[in-house]
């Protein structure tokens, strides 16, 4: 098998060309695996062939949420296997959130001992994390963790006193807590120490800082926060306070030599984030995310498209076709702007997903986005034409042990015996 390879220059932007070559080697291996065919008598063979192939987008991600439900290590490793089969190359690990904090920190062990669903069985130890990193690397997959703040941090508060904002009812604390307290110097000291640890645990040059869906009502109720707003000259505009917090966190992260990714909210609130910050679009229908992509790339930011691929949402029938018909570059902008779209991401949020239904909800539906991010958008391929290939691919996933759900009535025509 002779194969050609696109130049590794600038791919991925911050990664070394070694990293690119490593990923390409895995891609070659996977391309060869795809060529394996079976004779009538059951023997396997590969026909002589020549392949020239490369991805349209450098970032082809899947998000797993291990906070709303804990996912056992095995479920994550199995997902990485299936990702490699469809050439996804980024695992976005939304590792903690409001409901639970399963990451076992070396510096702050109370975060998981008090914030996880269970301090022993529902955590990721340092050795678990290393297993995920190695398993991913051997499959050409980067692991980008997300430690979302200042919102989505209820679970952080359990093991870290004085981190969250105490909410007030009238003139006294109500006993509940809001987002991380942006008015306290202690918050930034904690975040510096914590980010120092996690940026060293996860080697990828990108790091996801979240920054979405901050509810201002608790900040508004707190007299210390109000005094801080006044001191800083923010008036009554709490988006300025959120911006101030994120700017600090992005600065800390950039001093740790990482490129920050943040959710679109951070861009929507202000323009002071560094140009090299990557913006992750998650909101809206096509008209809205297209306009957002235009605005962000016009401002010179690199963009990651998540909005059209929230496939934790399910609908009766073949909803993969919606994912397939997305056109990431069909927005109003110059060629330079189009180059700033680094790729996209499929999200599998965990409100209604745990290890029992993760695989069938992801596969083969995620493959529609995988092809969209790999193949050239200008080669218009209809969902109609993709359907038989996707069906065959689903059978091949089953043979490899991935519990991929059916796409339509029918059966797999080989030795697969069913689950």
Ligand X SMILES: *[C@@H]1O[C@H](CO)[C@@H](O)[C@H](O)[C@H]1NC(C)=O
Which residues are marked as active site? 213
- Among 7, 18, 43, 47, contact with ligand X (rule: CB under 6 A): 47
Residue 258 vs 302, nearer CB to ligand X: 258
- Among 37, 288, 325, 356, contact with ligand X (rule: CB under 6 A): 37
- DSSP code of 124? B
- Among 38, 230, 257, 334, contact with ligand X (rule: CB under 6 A): 257
5 binds ligand X (CB under 6 A): no
Written as six digits, the tokens of 393 are 């691919």
- The region of 6-14, 118-126, 148-156, 244-252 touching ligand X under the rule CB under 6 A is 244-252
217 binds ligand X (CB under 6 A): yes
> Cα(385)–Cα(371) distance, rounded to whole angstroms?
12
247 binds ligand X (CB under 6 A): yes
Residue 16 vs 37, nearer CB to ligand X: 37
* Separation in Å, CA 61 to CA 86, 88, 191, 356, 390: 11, 6, 26, 22, 19
Contacts 24+ apart (CB under 8 A), 412-417: 414/38
**Is the Cβ–Cβ distance between 345 and 90 less than 8 Å?**
yes
107 binds ligand X (CB under 6 A): no
Residue 3 vs 355, nearer CB to ligand X: 3
Beta carbon of residue 272, minimum distance to ligand X (angstroms, whole number): 8
Residue 159 vs 182, nearer CB to ligand X: 182
Return the residue matching tokens 């010179």.
300
Which bin fits 152, alpha (ψ -120 to 50), beta or left (φ > 0)? left
> Cα(14)–Cα(166) distance, rounded to whole angstroms?
40
Q: Is 289 exposed, middle or buried (0-12, 13-18, 19+ CB in 10 A)?
A: buried
Residues written for the chain: 419
Beta carbon of residue 215, minimum distance to ligand X (angstroms, whole number): 4
Beta carbon of residue 405, minimum distance to ligand X (angstroms, whole number): 28
Beta carbon of residue 125, minimum distance to ligand X (angstroms, whole number): 24
Q: Is 377 exposed, middle or buried (0-12, 13-18, 19+ CB in 10 A)?
A: middle
- The region of 28-36, 59-67, 222-230, 242-250 touching ligand X under the rule CB under 6 A is 242-250
Binding-site size for ligand X (CB under 6 A) equals 12
Residues 293-352 that bind ligand X (CB under 6 A): 327, 330
Strand-pair partners of 303: 279, 341
- The region of 89-97, 246-254, 343-351, 404-412 touching ligand X under the rule CB under 6 A is 246-254
Contacts with 78 (C-beta within 8 Å, 6 or more apart), sequence order:
359, 401, 402
43 binds ligand X (CB under 6 A): no
> Cα(233)–Cα(248) distance, rounded to whole angstroms?
17
Beta carbon of residue 256, minimum distance to ligand X (angstroms, whole number): 5
- The region of 18-26, 248-256, 337-345, 398-406 touching ligand X under the rule CB under 6 A is 248-256
Beta carbon of residue 363, minimum distance to ligand X (angstroms, whole number): 25
- DSSP code of 59? E
Beta carbon of residue 218, minimum distance to ligand X (angstroms, whole number): 6
Residues that bind ligand X (CB under 6 A): 37, 47, 215, 217, 244, 247-248, 251, 256-257, 327, 330
């Amino acid at each position: 098998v002779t194969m050609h390879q696109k130049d590794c220059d600038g791919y991925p932007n911050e990664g070394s060309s070694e990293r690119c070559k490593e990923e390409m080697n895995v891609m070659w291996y996977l391309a060869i695996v795809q060529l394996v065919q079976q004779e009538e008598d059951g023997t396997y063979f590969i026909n002589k062939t020549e392949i020239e192939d490369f991805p349209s987008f450098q970032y082809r991600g899947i998000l797993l949420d291990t906070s709303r439900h804990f996912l056992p290590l095995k479920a994550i490793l199995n997902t990485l296997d299936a990702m490699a089969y469809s050439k996804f190359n980024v695992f976005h690990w939304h590792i903690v959130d409001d409901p639970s904090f399963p990451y076992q920190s070396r510096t702050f062990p109370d975060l998981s001992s008090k914030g996880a669903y269970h301090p022993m069985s529902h955590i990721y130890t340092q050795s678990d994390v290393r297993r995920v990193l190695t398993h991913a690397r051997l499959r050409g997959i980067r692991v980008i963790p997300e430690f979302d703040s200042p919102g989505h941090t209820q679970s952080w508060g359990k093991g870290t006193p004085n981190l969250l904002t105490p909410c007030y009812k009238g003139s006294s604390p109500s006993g509940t807590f809001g987002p991380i307290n942006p008015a306290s110097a202690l918050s930034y000291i904690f975040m510096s120490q914590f980010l120092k640890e996690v940026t060293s645990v996860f080697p990828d040059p990108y790091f996801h800082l979240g920054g979405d869906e901050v509810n201002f009502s608790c900040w508004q109720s707190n007299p210390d926060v109000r005094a801080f707003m006044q001191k800083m000259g923010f008036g009554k505009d709490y988006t300025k306070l959120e911006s101030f917090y994120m700017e600090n966190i992005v600065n800390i992260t950039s001093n740790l030599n990482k490129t920050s990714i943040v959710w679109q909210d951070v861009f929507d609130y202000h323009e002071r984030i560094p140009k090299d910050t990557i913006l992750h679009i998650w909101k809206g229908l096509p008209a809205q995310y297209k306009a957002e992509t235009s605005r962000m790339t016009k401002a010179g930011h690199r963009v990651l498209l998540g909005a059209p691929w929230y496939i934790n949402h399910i609908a009766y029938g073949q909803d993969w076709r919606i994912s397939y018909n997305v056109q990431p570059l069909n927005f109003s902008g110059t060629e330079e702007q189009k180059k700033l779209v680094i790729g996209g991401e499929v999200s599998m949020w965990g409100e209604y997903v745990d290890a029992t239904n993760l695989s069938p909800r992801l596969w083969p539906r995620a493959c529609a986005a995988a092809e969209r991010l790999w193949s050239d958008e200008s080669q218009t391929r209809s969902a109609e034409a993709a359907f038989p290939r996707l069906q065959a691919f689903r059978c091949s996933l089953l043979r490899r042990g991935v519990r991929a759900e059916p796409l339509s009535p029918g059966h797999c025509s080989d030795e697969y015996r069913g689950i």
